[in-house]
């Protein structure tokens, strides 16, 4: 085990017995040549040996990541507004506070070994999607971009028995996994899998007279086609219905003027368009890779 540099610098033979907490208390044993030093608890910069003698040490404080978790607005108009910046440490904590159903966890873990596993929504995102579906009492839902089914299963699990989810996906191999999990979860009867190009499926639903009949849609497919999918979904969703769009922060690239690849530009334009779209209310939420929640007016 490697110790952080500041502990090793105290004494070359310093060994730690337990983890260091943020309160700077730690259990340590110090071996110093022939003499054995043991301290019960270090809360300051001093170590007491077994005979009670106090030995001063210059102990640096363990580095706290707390400071990295907050960002202060650098725009005068927002004063000193502090907002959360999700560090790995904080994200671990968030994940530890997600109630992820066992079947979703199994699916997530199985997907980890598959190509493109980074595409699936995070557990905290899936939990929010399920919450939104429940909050608006959605019965008829659409998902564009299913992959192995993590987000669609999260939605299907909270739909009522009479609920219905149209799941649009072009990749057969991913759909095989998704269908297996729908079956295992006992929700297959609620999910209508459309194995085709999503735009074609959405257009045929409109032609089929299904406009304004859906409560909720989740858009998570090809980024350069967001505008087209969004226009189709807006026709299919009822007034008061919701469209949730994933990846709107695109790993932060949307805010970086030096990044101008086609996908980033496309998402940036999409964000700008919906910001100015008076057919909807919007709320951009920095969860996962960023989502925008749109409510049809």
Ligand X SMILES: C[S@@+](CC[C@H](N)C(=O)[O-])C[C@H]1O[C@@H](n2cnc3c(N)ncnc32)[C@H](O)[C@@H]1O
> Rule CB under 6 A: is residue 141 a binding residue for ligand X?
no
> Rule CB under 6 A: is residue 289 a binding residue for ligand X?
no
Helix (H) or strand (E) holding 199: helix 198-207
> Rule CB under 6 A: is residue 145 a binding residue for ligand X?
yes
Annotate each residue in 169-208 with x if it binds ligand X (CB under 6 A) or - if it does not, as one string. Answer: xxx--x----------------------xx----------
- CB contact set of 124 (below 8 Å; sequence gap of 6+): 94, 95, 98, 287, 288
- CB contact set of 220 (below 8 Å; sequence gap of 6+): 121, 143, 144, 145, 151, 245, 246, 247
Q: Which of 107, 148, 152, 118 is nearest to 133 (CA)?
A: 152
Contact 27, 18 (CB under 8 A): yes
Q: Which stretch binds ligand X (CB under 6 A): 119-127, 254-262, 265-273, 278-286?
A: 119-127
C-alpha 278/C-alpha 152 separation (Å) is 28
Token readout for 292 is 């925008």
Q: Which stretch binds ligand X (CB under 6 A): 80-88, 159-167, 217-225, 289-297?
A: 217-225
> Rule CB under 6 A: is residue 132 a binding residue for ligand X?
no
By beta-carbon proximity to ligand X, the closer residue of 10 and 291 is: 291
Q: Specify which residues 70 forms β-bridges with.
A: 84
By beta-carbon proximity to ligand X, the closer residue of 172 and 276 is: 172
> Rule CB under 6 A: is residue 151 a binding residue for ligand X?
yes
Give the shortest CB-121-to-ligand X separation in angstroms: 4
Among 39, 119, 217, 232, binds ligand X (CB under 6 A): 119
Among 26, 47, 214, 220, binds ligand X (CB under 6 A): 220
Give the shortest CB-87-to-ligand X separation in angstroms: 23
Instruction: Check residue 137 and report its DSSP letter.
Output: T
Among 20, 30, 120, 290, binds ligand X (CB under 6 A): 120
Tokens 């350069």 belong to residue: 224
Token readout for 229 is 């999918």
Binding site for ligand X (CB under 6 A): 119-121, 145-148, 150-151, 168-171, 174, 197-198, 220-222
């Amino acid at each position: 085990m490697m110790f952080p540099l500041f502990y090793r610098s105290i004494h070359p033979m310093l060994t730690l017995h337990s983890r260091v907490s943020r309160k700077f208390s730690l259990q340590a044993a110090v071996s110093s040549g022939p003499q054995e030093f043991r301290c019960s608890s270090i809360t300051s910069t001093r170590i007491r040996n077994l005979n009670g003698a106090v030995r001063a040490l210059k102990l640096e404080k363990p580095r706290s990541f707390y400071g990295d978790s907050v960002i202060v607005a650098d725009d005068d108009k927002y004063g000193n507004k502090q907002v959360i910046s999700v560090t790995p440490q904080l994200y671990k904590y968030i994940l530890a506070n997600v109630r992820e159903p066992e079947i979703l966890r199994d699916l997530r873990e199985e997907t980890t070994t598959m190509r493109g596993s980074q595409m699936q929504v995070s557990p905290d995102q899936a939990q929010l999607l399920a919450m939104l579906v429940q909050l608006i009492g959605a019965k008829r839902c659409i998902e564009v971009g299913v992959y192995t089914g993590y987000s669609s299963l999260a939605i299907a699990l909270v739909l009522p028995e009479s609920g219905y989810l149209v799941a649009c996906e072009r990749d057969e191999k991913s759909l095989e996994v998704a269908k297996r999990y729908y079956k295992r979860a006992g929700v297959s009867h609620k999910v209508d899998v459309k194995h085709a190009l999503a735009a074609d499926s959405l257009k045929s639903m409109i032609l089929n007279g299904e406009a304004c009949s859906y409560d909720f849609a989740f858009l998570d497919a090809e980024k350069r086609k967001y505008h087209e999918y969004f226009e189709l979904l807006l026709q299919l969703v009822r007034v008061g219905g919701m469209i949730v769009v994933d990846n709107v922060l695109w790993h932060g690239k949307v805010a970086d003027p030096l990044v101008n690849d086609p996908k980033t530009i496309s998402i940036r334009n999409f964000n700008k368009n919906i910001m100015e779209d008076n057919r909807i209310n919007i709320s951009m939420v920095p969860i996962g890779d960023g989502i925008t929640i749109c409510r049809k007016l």
